[in-house]
Amino acid sequence: MFSLILKDILISKKILLLTAAFLIVWVPTFQNFAAVVIMVGMAYMGLIVTSSADETNKADILLNSLPLRRYEIVLAKYLSIFVYSAIGIAIYLLVAAATKVLGLPIHVYPINFKAVIYGVLAVSFLNGIYLPLMFKFGHGFSGIMYIILIFGFFYGISYVIRLFKKFVNYDWFQSIVSFIMNQSDTVKMLFIIALALIVMTVSCLLSVKFYKNREF
């Protein structure tokens, strides 16, 4: 399974470095959402590049001729999205440290653990929808859907905020918000992690089912 993840990283290493360089320049405008943007962007580019390469080179036919179980191929894809995200965060932190040590007049917005957890939730949600589509229909259709998901996610944030303001006048909504806000940061983080695990588990089970039923 590790070799499958390494294969994907080697295929996409150039585009990942270019993506990381672009995001490092661009994401500081998002301030607290910097980690979310980096993780989502790196996972997106990594999956798009490797999925396209696999389909072009008919890699699925080769992989299924090897002594690999289909669930291992699926699981490797799921693990790879977090590897891409981790690479992006690592590069961002290295750049931030370098600018501080060298005293460069560049402000790199700091990334904290809470922001990374939110990034994990965003990556889990978006790819939890995309990957079952990819394993069901292949790269072409699912790639278009992925682009729609990405833009819908970022443009949908403002809609969520408006929806939040609309529901804030309801007693039941205030009770839920109050209950969540009264919890410790640790409990909040555990809740987010649990939610991400549920999304990814359901998504992975669907992907395995779809991939097992595909013919190559």
pLDDT value of residue 158:
62
User: Rounded CA gap, 183 and 116, in Å?
Assistant: 19
Residue pLDDT, tens place only, 51-77: 888 777 777 777 777 788 888 889 999
User: Rounded CA gap, 74 and 206, in Å?
Assistant: 10
pLDDT at 190 exceeding the cut of 80: yes
Q: What backbone torsions phi and psi does residue 104 show, to the nearest 5 degrees?
A: -75, 145
Q: How many CA atoms lie within 13 A of 79 on its CB side?
A: 15
Contact indicator for 83, 50 with CB cutoff of 8 Å: no
pLDDT value of residue 23:
72
User: Residue 201: pLDDT band by 50, 70, 90 thresholds?
Assistant: very high
Q: What is the mean pLDDT of residues 109-119?
A: 82
- Reference 51, options 154, 147, 155, 148; nearest CA is 147
Q: What is the mean pLDDT of residues 3-10?
A: 82
Residue 211 or residue 184, greater confidence: 211
pLDDT value of residue 154:
61
Mean pLDDT of the chain: 79
From the CB of residue 143, how many other CB atoms can be counted at a distance below 10 Å?
A: 19
User: Rounded CA gap, 85 and 192, in Å?
Assistant: 17
pLDDT value of residue 4:
83
Helix axes 139-167 and 113-137, enclosed angle (nearest 10): 140
| Owner of token pair 């060298």 | 102
Contact indicator for 139, 52 with CB cutoff of 8 Å: yes
The full DSSP string for 51-112 is HHHHHHTTHHHHHHHSS--HHHHHHHHHHHHHHHHHHHHHHHHHHHHHHHHHT-S-------
Q: Which amino acid belongs to residue 72?
A: E
Residue pLDDT, tens place only, 25-60: 766 666 667 778 888 888 888 888 888 887 777 777
Q: What percent of the chain has pLDDT over 70?
A: 76
Residue pLDDT, tens place only, 121-171: 889 988 888 899 888 887 776 667 777 776 666 666 666 666 666 666 666
Residue 22 token pair: 């672009």
Helices (H) and strands (E) in the chain, counts: 8, 0
